[in-house]
Structure 1
Amino acid sequence: MSAPRAARPDARLVLVAGAGRLPEQVAHSLDRAGRAFKVLALRGFTDHALRARADATVDLLDIGETLRILEGWGPATVVPAGGVARPSPAAILNAAAAFRNRVALRNLADGGDDRLLRGALALLEENGHTVCGVHEVAPDLLSPAGTIGGHRPDAAGEASIATGRAVLAALSSFDVGQAVVVAADRVLAVEGPEGTDRMLARARALARKPWDLLPWGRMRSLPATVLVKCAKDGQDLRIDLPAIGPRTVRNAAAAGCVGLAVEAGRTLLIDRPETIAEADRLGLFLIGIGVGP
């Protein structure tokens, strides 16, 4: 995909709202900044609170109607936020049958989620719109660098963070997940298409196994288990920005983690005060880290 276009100064900002809390939080951030914007709700995905203030509502696969609405609003800078369920390849091809760009259609229908999302962006850009990420319009929602909350990693935790960063750096050229659970130099789980929460469930199951035996035969759990989450190299942050929230913290604690390390400036903290409070309550450190191994 070509480099993202710069937003036109006369372009109207349009928040395309999917599922979850993120779209509402982006709307609140834009309100705080005094930025005018319209909300395009996705039927069946957008939460009730944001649907109530939506300027229009469309079906996820009604590409023609979406483009007609955006055209009526004038040149648009589109900000996608929130989750959607991946449609079947047949449904995507049927919905986009009126469009001539077969490369874009293949990108939509085939391959991983990254290719699906990039294909959707290509259709928008081919019709004169630009696409911005949440990180560009609501930077206050991103993780800061350094310790967040009341706990800090010890030396063993720092070693696990270093291992996790190295693993993610080595895997970043592949279309796999953005997170890993590590304990010192042991990799317990790598995120796949199932997402962070289900990866943590796998790590929780593994943590119950007798990895080590003390000399007198008692079981010992792995020390310094840490969740590390970073964006992949070349990842299109406009549509796939790493994120954690209070539920991530609770699931990490249940998996035996002593802390979470996320990429500063490129990871969303969903429900930020609650996320920090939950980490403090459970005794987990939360830290924003730089990129690289």
Structure 2
Amino acid sequence: MSQRQPADSKPFDALRTAKVMGPLGIIAGRGSLPVFIADAAAAGNVPVHIIGIRGEANDEIERFPHTWIRWGEIGKIFGALEKNGCKDLVIIGGVSRPDFKNIRVDVGALKALPFLLSLRKGGDDHVLSRVVRFFEQRGYRVHGAGDVLPELLIPEGTLTQRAPSADDETDMALAFKVVRALGQLDIGQAAVVASGHVLAVEAAEGTDAMLDRCAELKRRGRSHGTASGVLVKAPKPGQEERVDMPTIGPETIIRAAEAGLSGIAVAAQHVLIAECKRTIDTANERKLFLYGTPWAEQEPGNAGETGNKLDA
């Protein structure tokens, strides 16, 4: 399998293709992607305004026009978007469930109380789909990070010096089956399989915590051994990928190496890569592979879909 890299960035063309008509609003959680998108927008002469969630977003957003908000300040969100002419939105970055002491309810939140109460029921997909509809019903265009910047999407094939072995491919096939099953139940987006054994599945704690559990198994001598096993990530069936696309970055690579895994496989074009060069360099340094496998939402054989498979 040949080593492949994401295409060179053409931020202005990408933003135009995504039909970003004017100033871009970015509602920012954790991680580097909000700033990466803002940098690309600035490079394409697209005005940007970042709305950072306190306790989540990185202080680096202050390099750009920005507004800080606390959980519950919905009126402040719409005020900032309206003041800066932002009808195009990207909602990006990890968030934690808010602590009640950090919630500040404003008039906008009181007006949206029926919507907020509706978020108490259902799983993550239900909540995030309703969030998207909430903005769309108010005239905003919500874009996925991968729609705005396709270079953020992991392409098909091997991105690293190391490629999956035959044993890795077998583990990958089982792990993707596990992830599909998890997704049907709206549980998680990732699983770890080693030598045909399911070591861990992702639940509410997230991928990093799941990998930490695998690393603990390794330290206790109860794992699969050295440099074997695969982490896979893929979206859930019907997932609202505009605001909840699976993501990997350098920290994912480091934790996978500490867990003794040989590599990471993801659903190509359906998983974001943060800090692409650093992530790939880190994988090469740790001698892990990073592979994007062709992905179809349905199981192979259903409705004529081809499913996921490895390159020959």
Scaled by the length of structure 2, the TM-score of the pair is 0.80
Provide the residue aligned with 1:287 in structure 2: 291
Q: Using a 3 Å threshold, how does the CA distance of structure 1 residues 12 and 35 change in structure 2: closer, same or farther? A: closer
Q: Using a 3 Å threshold, how does the CA distance of structure 1 residues 108 and 232 change in structure 2: closer, same or farther? A: same
Counterparts of 1:44 and 1:197, CA distance in 2: 19
Provide the residue aligned with 2:163 in structure 1: 152
Counterparts of 2:91 and 2:285, CA distance in 1: 32
Report matched runs for 1:43-122 at 5 Å. 43-74=54-85, 76-87=87-98, 96-99=109-112, 102=114, 104-122=115-133
Contact 1:246–1:271, Cα closer than 8 Å, also in 2: yes
Q: CA deviation at 1:234?
A: 0.8
Q: CA deviation at 1:71?
A: 2.9
Provide the residue aligned with 1:190 in structure 2: 201
Report how many residues are paired: 278
Provide the residue aligned with 1:166 in structure 2: 177
Structure 1: gaps spanning 5 or more residues: 1-6, 213-219
Q: CA deviation at 1:44?
A: 3.7
Q: CA deviation at 1:197?
A: 0.9
Counterparts of 1:50 and 1:120, CA distance in 2: 22
Contact 1:183–1:223, Cα closer than 8 Å, also in 2: no
Amino acid at match of 1:99: A
Q: CA deviation at 1:34?
A: 4.2
Does 2:230 align with 1:226?
A: yes
Contact 2:70–2:104, Cα closer than 8 Å, also in 1: no
Q: CA deviation at 1:99?
A: 2.5
Counterparts of 2:136 and 2:37, CA distance in 1: 22
Provide the residue aligned with 2:258 in structure 1: 254
Counterparts of 2:47 and 2:86, CA distance in 1: 14
Counterparts of 1:142 and 1:10, CA distance in 2: 22
Q: CA deviation at 1:47?
A: 2.0
Structure 2: gaps spanning 5 or more residues: 1-17, 296-306
Counterparts of 1:154 and 1:180, CA distance in 2: 18
Q: CA deviation at 1:262?
A: 1.4
RMSD: 2.7
Provide the residue aligned with 2:218 in structure 1: 207
Provide the residue aligned with 2:276 in structure 1: 272
Q: CA deviation at 1:8?
A: 7.3
Query: What SS class does the counterpart of residue 109 from structure 1 fall into?
Result: coil
Between stretches 159-168 and 66-75, larger displacement belongs to: 66-75
Between stretches 164-173 and 36-45, larger displacement belongs to: 36-45
Q: Using a 3 Å threshold, how does the CA distance of structure 1 residues 147 and 32 change in structure 2: closer, same or farther? A: farther
Q: CA deviation at 1:184?
A: 3.1
Contact 2:231–2:256, Cα closer than 8 Å, also in 1: yes
Contact 2:226–2:261, Cα closer than 8 Å, also in 1: no
Counterparts of 2:27 and 2:282, CA distance in 1: 29
Q: CA deviation at 1:157?
A: 0.7
Q: CA deviation at 1:11?
A: 5.1
Task: Provide Cα deviations, 1:176-232, integer angstroms capped at 9, x if missing partner.
Answer: 1111000132110000110111101111223355669xxxxxxx7377311011111
Amino acid at match of 2:50: V
Query: What SS class does the counterpart of residue 80 from structure 1 fall into?
Result: strand
Does 2:135 align with 1:135?
A: no
Percent identity (aligned): 36
- Picking from 224, 242, 245, the partner of 2:249 is 245
Scaled by the length of structure 1, the TM-score of the pair is 0.84
Contact 2:28–2:91, Cα closer than 8 Å, also in 1: yes
Contact 2:21–2:88, Cα closer than 8 Å, also in 1: no
Counterparts of 2:292 and 2:183, CA distance in 1: 19
